[in-house]
Structure 1
Amino acid sequence: MVSSSDPRGGRAGRAEIQEFFTVRAADWERRFPDDGPAYRAAVRALGLRPGQRVLDAGCGTARALPALREAVGPAGVVLAADLTPAMLDTARETGRTAYGQLLLADAERLPLRTGALDVVFAAGLLSHLTHPEAGLRELARVVRPRGRLALFHPLGRRALAARHGRPLTDDDLRAEPRLNSLLSHSGWRLTSYVDEDARYLVLAERIRDDTA
C-alpha cells in the first residue's frame, strides 16, 4: 500500500504514511499469508495481454507482481511503486524483483510520462490516498485512453469494516455511488463493481481526453 488513514479519522500526511508502514513492513507477508489466490483472480479479471505495460500502484510488498508478469509475459513491462522504502525492501527480500521493477515513488506523483501504461492495478490504495480525486487523476494521467484501472482488496467493504471494528457507512469512498462519481471526475468510467465478503474489485476505463 502507499498510504494509511489517520486513526483519528483524518487523512495522514506522507510522513505519517511512511511511519505507519515502516514499522509493519517486516511482518507484512506473515500477517496476510492467504491472499495470493485473490490477487491472482483479480489480475485475471483485468484481461491483460502479452506485451502490455502495467503498474502496481501502492504496491506494498508487491504481492501482485508474479501474477502481473505471468499475464503480460516476458515482452511486457511490469512496474511497482510504493512510498515506503521498508515495504520495497521486503518486496526485494521475497524475490519480487524477478517479476518487475520496483520504484520508490508516491502513487499520487508518479515519475512516469503521460499515457505510458496500459493498465494500473491498485490493491488497498483507494481509501488511503491523501487526496483521492487528485490521486485517481494522476493514475489516469499515466494510462493511455481506454486503458484500464483495477481497484482491489481481498476483503469486501463489509468484511473489512468488521475486521477493524467499524460500521459500514455510505460515505465510504469505496461505496459504489460515491466511487462512481469520484471516478467520473478524475478521468475514468466505471465498468464493473464487485463488493463481496471475499473480494472487492472495481474495474474502470480511461476516458479519452476529448470526452473527459
Structure 2
Amino acid sequence: MSDDHTHVQEFFGARAADWDARFPDDGPAYEAAVSDVGLRPGDRVLDAGCGTGRALPPLKTAVGASGVVVGADLTWAMLETAVRAGRDRDGRLLLTDVAALPLRSESLDAVFAAGLVAHLPNPAENLRELARVVRPGGILALFHPIGRAALAARQGRQLTPEDLRAESNLGPLLADSGWDMTSYADEDARFLALAVRRV
C-alpha cells in the first residue's frame, strides 16, 4: 500500500466514529447536490470515497428501487460507521481504492464524489478510472458541502492558485481525464462541479 493510502486511512480512520457528529448540518447540502445531478429511476451510481455514507440515502431515493447504488471507500472504519448508521440499506458498500475499482467498464450512469478530489494521489489517473466505469454521456459530480474559501478558512489555510478545485485547474484536469465540465459552483454553502463522460 502506498504512503498516500496509508495517510488517507490513518486520517479518516481516526475521525470515522465522530465524523457525522462533527458535521451534523450537511444533510440538506447533500440532498440538494444529488438533486442537481439529475439521476433517474433505474440509474446505477457510485458514491466514490463514500466515507460514512451520507450521500447514500439521497442517491437511493433518486434512483429508486430499480436503481443501484454502490459506496466505495478505502477506510474500513468509515464503512463501519456507515453500517452503524444503517446506510448500508441504501447501497452496497465496497472496501476498495477508487483508483482501481472492481467494476466493469461503462457499467454506471453516474459517479458522485464528495470531498474526494483533494485526497486523490494521482488526480488525472484517478479521474480516468472513474471515467472508465461510467458510460459515455454519464455524469460525474464533484461535491463538497462548503465552498473552497470556507473550507480553507476552516482548515486555517489560504487558497492557492494550485488548488485542484479552482475552476481554471479543474476544467483542464477533467478534460485530460475523459470528462467535459458542464457546470461549476463554488459558493460559501457548497462546491459542486458537474461533468459529462466524453463519448
Shorter-chain TM-score bucket reads over 0.9
Over the matched positions of the two proteins, sequence identity in percent amounts to 65
Distance in 2 (CA, whole Å) between partners of 1:116 and 1:54 is 9
Query: For 1:194, which of 185, 192, 198 is the aligned residue?
Result: 185
User: Which residue of 2 is the match for residue 63 of structure 1?
Assistant: 54
C-alpha distance after superposition, 1:17-63 (max 9, x if no partner): 11111111111111111000000000000110000000000000010
Distance in 2 (CA, whole Å) between partners of 1:79 and 1:175 is 28
**Structure 1 alignment gaps of length 5 or more:** 1-10
The runs of at least 4 aligned residues of structure 1 exceeding 4 Å deviation read none
Q: Deviation of residue 12 (structure 1)? A: 5.4
Q: How many residues align?
A: 198
Q: Deviation of residue 99 (structure 1)? A: 0.6
Distance in 1 (CA, whole Å) between partners of 2:13 and 2:158 is 28
Q: Deviation of residue 135 (structure 1)? A: 0.7
Q: Which amino acid aligns with 1:37?
A: P
Q: Does structure 1 residue 91 correspond to structure 2 residue 82?
A: yes
Q: Which amino acid aligns with 2:134?
A: V
Distance in 2 (CA, whole Å) between partners of 1:157 and 1:25 is 22
Which residues of 2 match residues 150-165 of structure 1 at below 5 A? Answer: 150-165=141-156
Q: Deviation of residue 86 (structure 1)? A: 0.5
Q: Does structure 1 residue 116 correspond to structure 2 residue 69?
A: no
**Structure 2 alignment gaps of length 5 or more:** none
Distance 1:37 1:126, change over 3 A: same
Question: TM-score, normalising length from structure 2?
Answer: 0.98
Q: Is the 8 A contact 1:12 1:130 kept in 2?
A: no
Q: Which amino acid aligns with 1:118?
A: D
C-alpha distance after superposition, 1:150-171 (max 9, x if no partner): 0000010111111111111221
Query: For 1:134, which of 118, 125, 147 is the aligned residue?
Result: 125
Distance in 1 (CA, whole Å) between partners of 2:161 and 2:121 is 19
Query: For 1:40, which of 20, 27, 31 is the aligned residue?
Result: 31
Q: Deviation of residue 127 (structure 1)? A: 1.0
C-alpha distance after superposition, 1:156-204 (max 9, x if no partner): 0111111111111221000001101100000000000000000100000
Q: Which amino acid aligns with 1:130?
A: P
Query: For 1:28, which of 7, 19, 39 is the aligned residue?
Result: 19
Distance in 2 (CA, whole Å) between partners of 1:70 and 1:123 is 17
Query: For 2:8, which of 17, 20, 32 is the aligned residue?
Result: 17
Distance in 2 (CA, whole Å) between partners of 1:13 and 1:205 is 28
Q: Which moved more, 1:121-130 or 1:14-23?
A: 14-23
Instruction: Please report the RMSD computed on the Cα atoms of aligned residues, expressed in angstroms.
Output: 1.0
